[in-house]
């Protein structure tokens, strides 16, 4: 999935954290009618808000506002209803969920589910640790998924849908397209982060893309 980036103002998010601390994904909605992911990224980059989210999603784009290695302020509260999920151990995903008439934008939800699946894979987060903002603080967010639990249940089903038969797997290094994809996997083989000598890999396309993303983010030192 292509992810655009525009970093929020420094006074809108918190400290550096270890990516190993990321254990939850909290789903939000922007609450605005007809907005875009880029609108929101621009706003948080420009204005002092004292709040933030890692990602904004609409039906066309994903924009990263806070890096995963930083704490975003998206589920802070004086009282918590979830025993563990907090800003410091979660990623916040905001969905541009309503059109200009206030109607549901299902394609935005679908794209958000795709992003969340990638984040689940990257940080080994099971579906039961993907929660609504409401589940953490009882704030009415994302409101459509609180007022209509079936909408939330449908989103959860998207996170665990079976894609095994549709997904392409690479069994050898030579099957991986030449260029950045193959170079990244070869680098990890050479560093013994991936076992073997380039055969019997069984790496999905999504896994290889995540490796490239992580390399671009400087996670492989």
DSSP string, 52-82: --SEEE-SS-EEESS-TTEEE-SS--SS-SS
Q: Where are the beta strands (DSSP E) in the chain?
A: 4-5, 13-16, 24-29, 55-57, 62-64, 70-72, 90-95, 130-132, 169-172, 199-204
SS3 98: strand
Supply the pLDDT for residue 204. Answer: 82
Beta bridge partners of 130: 25
Supply the pLDDT for residue 166. Answer: 52
How many separate helices (H) and strands (E) can be counted in the chain?
7, 10
Q: What's the whole-model pTM score?
A: 0.74
Q: Could you report the average pLDDT of every consecutive run of 10 residues in the chain (221 residues)?
A: 96 96 98 97 98 97 98 97 98 97 94 96 94 98 96 94 62 92 91 77 83 80 67
Peptide bond into 142 cis (omega under 30): yes
Supply the pLDDT for residue 164. Answer: 46
Q: Record the tokens describing residue 106, joined without a space.
A: 């299902």
């Amino acid at each position: 999935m292509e992810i655009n980036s525009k970093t929020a103002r420094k006074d809108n998010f918190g400290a550096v954290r270890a990516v190993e601390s990321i254990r939850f994904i909290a789903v939000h909605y922007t609450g605005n009618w007809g907005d875009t992911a880029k609108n929101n990224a621009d706003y948080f980059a420009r204005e002092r808000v004292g709040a933030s989210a890692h990602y904004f999603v609409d039906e066309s784009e994903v924009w990263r506002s806070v890096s995963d290695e930083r704490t975003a302020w998206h589920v802070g509260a004086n009282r918590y209803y979830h025993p563990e999920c907090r800003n410091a151990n979660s990623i916040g995903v905001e969905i541009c969920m309503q059109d200009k008439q206030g109607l549901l934008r299902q394609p935005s939800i679908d794209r958000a589910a795709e992003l969340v699946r990638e984040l689940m894979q990257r940080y080994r987060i099971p579906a039961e640790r993907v929660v609504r903002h409401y589940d953490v603080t009882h704030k009415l967010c994302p409101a459509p998924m609180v007022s209509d639990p079936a909408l939330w249940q449908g989103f959860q089903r998207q996170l665990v849908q079976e894609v095994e038969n549709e997904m392409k797997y690479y069994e050898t290094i030579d099957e991986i397209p030449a260029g950045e994809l193959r170079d990244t996997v070869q680098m990890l083989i050479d560093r013994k982060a991936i076992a073997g000598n380039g055969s019997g890999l069984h790496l999905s396309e999504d896994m290889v893309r995540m490796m490239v993303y992580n390399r671009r983010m400087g996670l492989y030192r």
